């Protein structure tokens, strides 16, 4: 977060889902918030964010560039920056999903979680390792944008190419000092990569077999599960569906 604490104006950056949550909170609390989004943000996400009356800035071709722009604006001293993942309070909020999983399931063998900036998997993974250490955490990365997965292999934050992906909510790079990298490395047992075809098939399976329409980043977790189902099929696996703010035109092209 920004070191400036005098400003009451807040700024964050997001591919969309974090922006929706932050905008909702700002509206409820009467806070002045600006959300920086990539220029290719899903229209449904953009409209939901705008509906809460916050200021929106479109910048860059992918989420990492939007984040950098938000940080640059915060560096002027005009705003306090709220990272969508590189913030202990954001991670703690996402960690509550782990508590909900344990409340609803007596035994969990595996949890499959899509990986973006790492806040979600760090939070859930930390809770599971604390209260259910036998549970295996599977991080699922989109082949088209896999900054966290590659950084975990390298042991430090690395730059990767970011291509368009159906899992837009997990696209983008990492802050050079991101606390999510060491956290993810400490809690993730296995990393799985999935391509666009595998994400597309998972979207179709959720729609036609489970009657659930979700966004690509949620289907990514199922795609990862499908790749190792022969190994984990006998256990109790939880697949975290992390969002349903999909692009209607894209979904029509996949499902119709």
Query: How does pLDDT run across 118-135, given as a tens digit for each residue?
Result: 999 999 999 999 999 999
| CA distance linking residue 31 with residue 41, whole number of Å | 23
Phi, psi of 214 (to 5 degrees): -125, 175
Q: Which domains does the chain have, with CATH numbers?
A: 9-82 (3.40.50.1100), 91-255 (3.40.50.1100)
On the question of pLDDT at 6 being above 70, the answer is no
Report d(CA 200, CA 86) in Å as an integer.
29
Which pairing describes strands 237-239 and 110-114: parallel, antiparallel, or unpaired? parallel
Tokens of 243: 């969002």
pLDDT in tens, 135-161: 999 999 999 999 999 999 999 999 999
What is the pLDDT at residue 233?
Answer: 78
Convert the pLDDT of each residue in 18-31 to its tens digit: 999 999 999 999 99
User: Is the pLDDT confidence value at 8 over 70?
Assistant: yes
């Amino acid at each position: 977060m920004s070191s400036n604490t005098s400003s009451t104006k807040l700024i964050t950056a997001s591919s969309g889902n974090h922006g929706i949550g932050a905008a909702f909170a700002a509206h409820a609390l009467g806070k002045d918030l600006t959300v920086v989004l990539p220029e290719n943000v899903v229209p449904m996400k953009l409209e939901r964010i705008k509906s809460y009356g916050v200021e929106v800035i479109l910048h860059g071709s992918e989420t990492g560039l939007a984040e950098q722009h938000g940080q640059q604006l915060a560096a002027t001293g005009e705003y306090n920056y709220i990272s969508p993942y590189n913030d202990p309070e954001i991670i703690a909020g996402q960690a509550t999903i782990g508590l909900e999983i344990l409340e609803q399931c007596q035994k969990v063998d595996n949890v499959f979680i899509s990986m973006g900036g790492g806040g979600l998997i760090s939070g859930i993974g930390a809770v599971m390792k604390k209260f259910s250490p036998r549970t295996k955490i599977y991080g699922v990365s989109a082949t088209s944008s896999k900054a966290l997965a590659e950084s975990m292999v390298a042991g430090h934050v690395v730059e990767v190419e970011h291509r368009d992906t159906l899992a837009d909510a997990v696209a983008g790079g990492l802050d050079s000092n991101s606390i999510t990298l060491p956290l993810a490395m400490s809690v993730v047992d296995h990393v799985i990569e999935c391509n666009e075809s595998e994400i597309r098939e998972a979207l179709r399976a959720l729609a036609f077999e489970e009657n659930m329409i979700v966004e690509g980043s949620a289907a990514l977790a199922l795609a990862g599960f499908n790749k190792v189902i022969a190994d984990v099929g006998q256990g109790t696996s939880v697949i975290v569906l992390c969002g349903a703010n999909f692009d209607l035109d894209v979904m029509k092209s996949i499902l119709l």
